[in-house]
Each structure stands twice: as C-alpha cells, then as structure tokens.
C-alpha cells in the first residue's frame, strides 16, 4: 500500500516545513521547492492532492497486497521537478540522488545518505503523473495560490 507521506521523522531528517533555502540563489530549483514546501504546509491542499493521487496512481492495483510503492509525496515532488524544470529522467536521477535540498524535500536526512533511487524506479513512478492527473492537481494548486494572494491583499 502506498503511503501519502511518512509523517514520522527519522533521526537526522528535517521536517519539510523547516527546510531552509538560499534566498539569494538565482537558480530555478529553490523557488520551486519553496512552492512545494508551501503546498505541504497547507493541510487541506495537501489532502486534496493526495486524494487525487490515491485515486489516479495505479487505481487497479490491490493496495493491501504486495510491497509498498514509492510514497505519493515523493512521486509528486519528483514529477513537479521533472516537468517544471524540463528535466529528462537522467537529470532527475542525478538531482534526487545528490542535491541536498531536494533530498530533504523527499524526506531524507543525513542518516540515509546512502539511499538512492534507481533510474528505472523513477521512470516507473513519475510516469504515473499523467496529463489528466496533473490537470486535476493544477486546479487545486491554482486555488491554493488564489487563497494566498487574497490573504496578502487583505493585509495591505
């Protein structure tokens, strides 16, 4: 059975809401990760996204038998990075195995530095984010963004 996200932190792991970013970086990775962090901290938005993923990611598999698949959060993060940054699977493979902040976003700490993802595992899981699934998730994320903008306008 796939888990949405493992909420139980392991030794050396940073809570996703506590990850810090280099705000002076001009690279496109930190803003995208910051957006994912915001989505993660919005309980209702995160719940809606996971409902979509649970319904659409391998819906015909028996969720009570077999070994657990990759967490839905990891699939979501990897798919978001791949599509938004226009990475091929080789680039995604390199980054999820070696980029410190991306690994934190995936839920890895210094204790599991040796944990890596195989290229085929990435391909098999990230491809589950079909255009239909991404369209549904996009609607939820845009709605979350609208709520954020309304909050900021209310404070001005």
Flag whether 9 is in a domain: no
Flag whether 133 is in a domain: yes
Tally the domains of the chain.
Answer: 1
Range of the domain at 39: 16-155
For the segment 82-88, the average pLDDT, to the nearest whole number, is 96
* Residue 89, C-beta contacts closer than 8 angstroms, at least 6 positions apart: 82, 119, 122, 123, 126
* Residue 104, C-beta contacts closer than 8 angstroms, at least 6 positions apart: 13, 14, 16, 19
Flag whether 3 is in a domain: no
SS3 at position 69: coil
What are the pLDDT digits (tens) for 117-152?
999 999 999 999 999 999 999 999 999 988 888 776
Name the helix (H) or strand (E) containing 30.
helix 29-41
Residue with more model confidence, 103 or 112: 103
Flag whether 140 is in a domain: yes
pLDDT for the residue numbered 149 = 82
Flag whether 102 is in a domain: yes
SS3 at position 46: helix
Flag whether pLDDT at 97 surpasses 70. yes
What are the pLDDT digits (tens) for 7-23?
555 656 788 999 999 98
């Amino acid at each position: 059975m796939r888990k949405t996200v493992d909420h139980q932190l392991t030794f050396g792991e940073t809570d996703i809401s506590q990850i810090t970013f280099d705000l002076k970086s001009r690279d496109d990775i930190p803003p995208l990760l910051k957006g994912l962090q915001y989505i993660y901290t919005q309980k209702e938005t995160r719940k809606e996204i996971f409902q979509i993923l649970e319904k659409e990611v391998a819906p015909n598999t028996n969720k009570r038998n077999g070994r657990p698949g990759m967490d839905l959060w990891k699939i979501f993060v990897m798919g978001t990075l791949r599509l938004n940054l226009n990475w091929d699977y080789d680039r995604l493979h390199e980054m999820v195995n070696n980029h410190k902040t991306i690994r934190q976003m995936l839920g890895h700490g210094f204790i599991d530095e040796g944990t890596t993802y195989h290229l085929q595992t990435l391909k098999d899981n990230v491809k589950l984010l079909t255009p239909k699934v991404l369209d549904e998730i996009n609607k939820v994320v845009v709605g979350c963004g609208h709520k954020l903008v309304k909050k900021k306008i209310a404070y001005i």
